[in-house]
C-alpha cells in the first residue's frame, strides 16, 4: 500500500488548480480574543460545491484514463463528496452515478441533481451503500471514486493545507476534522512534508470518536451508529487513512455536541460566514482544551458550508 507524499499533493495541486477556487484564509480579532490564540481559517466553505471535497473529486476525475472516463464514475457519499464528484465529472464530460443514503439533507440531494448526476438511493448503512455501488460498477463499468479510501482523492484534499501553508508558513498547529480520514490524511501528509515541526491535530465529535479510539488503541475500530450534529463526520477510517493518520497526526481531540453547536453559532455570528457543523468541530476542540492552544498560531481547515437552514441545531 503506497502512502501519498508531499510531491503527490503538489502534483495534484498543479492538476486541479484551473478548476478549483483558491479559497481565502480568514481571521477574526474577536475570536482571537475569545480563545486567546491566533486563528487562521482556511475557508473551504467558499470552495465550489461549498466544501473541500471538490478538490479530491477533481483530482480523481482528472487522473482517469480516456477509457475510464468514457465509462463514467460512481460513488457512495453522505453528501458533499456526491456533489463534488457530480460537478467534477460534469466539468470534464464524464457521467456520474451517485449512491446516496435516503436520509441525506435535502440541500445536498438538490445539489447533486442540479449538477446533472444520476442518484441511486439506498439505506443509510455502509453495507447498503457499498452493495449498491458494486451493482452499478458491474452494470456500467464505471470507476469507483471512494469518498476517502482513494489515493487520488486524498492527494486532492491535501491541497487545501498546501494553500494554507503557502499563505501562512509560521503556524504552530494545523487542525482538521476527521470523518473517514481523507481530509486529515491529505492535510497531515502535506503539513509534515513541509515542516515536521508543525503539530497536526485531528478534531472529532465525541459521539463519533472512532478515529480517536483507533488512534489511541492502535487498532482500527469502526464506529457503530454514531449520532452527531456533524453529519459529515459519521463515517469511519479505512485501512489506508488509518495508516496515514497513525504516521502523520500528533493527536486527536474530541468535542461534545454542545461545543460543536456553540462554535458553529459563534463563527456565524462573529465572522458572518456559514460553516457546517463538521467544520465547527475544529474550533470546538480549542474551546474544550484552552491549555493546549493558548498563545499559539493555529491553522484550521474549515471543511464546508452546506447546511440545511430548515433544520438548524439552535
Chain residues that interact with a second copy, rule: CB under 8 A: 24, 45-46, 50, 107, 265, 268-269, 272-275, 305, 309-310, 312, 314
Orientation angle between helical segments 210-217 and 239-248, nearest 10 degrees: 60
Is 168 annotated as catalytic? Answer: no
Is 236 annotated as catalytic? Answer: no
Say how far apart CA 124 and CA 117 lie, in whole Å: 19
Whether residue 171 contacts residue 38, with contact meaning beta carbons closer than 8 Å, is answered with no
Residue keyed to cell 471512494: 146
Say how far apart CA 169 and CA 163 lie, in whole Å: 10
Which of the 8 DSSP states describes residue 142?
Answer: P
Say how far apart CA 212 and CA 216 lie, in whole Å: 6
Q: Which is nearer to a second copy, 121 or 268 (CB)?
A: 268
Name the minimum Å distance from CB 5 to a second copy.
32
Residue keyed to cell 501562512: 168
Residue keyed to cell 475570536: 31
Name the minimum Å distance from CB 274 to a second copy.
4
Name the minimum Å distance from CB 276 to a second copy.
9
How far, in whole angstroms, is CA 65 from its chain's centroid?
25
Whether residue 150 contacts residue 175, with contact meaning beta carbons closer than 8 Å, is answered with no
Q: Which of 48, 63, 77, 78 is catalytic?
A: 78
Name the minimum Å distance from CB 40 to a second copy.
16
Q: Which residues are catalytic?
A: 53, 78
Amino acid at each position: 500500500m503506497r502512502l501519498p507524499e508531499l510531491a503527490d499533493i503538489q502534483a495534484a495541486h498543479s492538476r486541479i488548480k484551473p478548476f478549483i477556487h483558491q479559497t481565502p484564509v480568514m481571521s477574526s480579532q474577536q475570536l482571537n480574543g475569545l480563545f486567546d490564540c491566533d486563528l487562521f481559517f482556511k475557508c473551504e466553505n467558499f470552495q465550489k460545491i461549498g466544501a473541500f471535497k471538490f478538490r479530491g473529486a477533481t483530482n480523481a476525475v482528472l487522473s482517469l484514463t480516456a477509457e475510464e472516463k468514457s465509462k463514467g464514475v460512481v460513488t457512495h457519499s453522505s453528501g458533499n463528496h456526491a456533489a463534488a464528484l457530480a460537478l467534477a465529472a460534469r466539468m470534464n464530460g464524464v457521467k456520474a452515478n451517485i449512491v446516496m443514503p435516503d436520509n441525506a439533507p435535502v440541500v445536498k440531494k438538490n445539489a447533486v441533481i442540479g449538477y446533472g448526476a444520476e442518484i441511486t438511493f439506498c439505506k443509510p448503512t455502509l453495507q447498503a451503500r457499498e452493495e449498491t455501488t458494486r451493482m452499478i460498477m458491474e452494470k456500467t463499468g464505471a470507476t469507483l471514486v471512494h469518498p476517502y479510501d482513494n489515493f487520488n482523492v486524498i492527494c486532492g484534499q491535501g491541497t487545501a493545507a498546501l494553500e494554507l501553508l503557502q499563505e501562512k508558513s509560521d503556524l504552530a498547529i494545523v487542525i482538521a476534522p476527521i470523518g473517514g480520514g481523507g481530509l486529515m490524511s491529505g492535510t497531515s501528509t502535506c503539513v509534515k512534508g513541509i515542516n515536521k515541526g508543525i503539530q497536526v491535530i485531528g478534531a472529532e465529535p465525541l459521539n463519533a470518536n472512532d478515529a480517536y479510539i483507533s488512534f489511541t488503541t492502535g487498532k482500527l475500530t469502526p464506529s457503530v451508529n454514531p449520532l452527531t450534529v456533524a453529519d459529515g463526520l459519521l463515517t469511519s477510517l479505512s485501512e489506508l487513512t488509518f495508516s496515514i493518520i497513525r504516521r502523520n497526526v500528533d493527536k486527536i481531540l474530541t468535542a461534545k455536541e454542545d461545543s460543536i453547536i456553540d462554535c458553529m453559532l459563534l463563527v456565524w455570528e462573529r465572522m458572518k460566514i456559514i460553516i457546517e457543523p463538521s467544520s465547527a468541530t475544529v474550533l470546538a476542540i480549542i474551546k474544550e482544551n484552552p491549555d493546549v492552544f493558548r498563545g499559539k498560531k493555529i491553522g484550521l481547515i474549515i471543511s464546508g458550508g452546506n447546511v440545511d437552514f430548515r433544520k438548524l441545531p439552535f
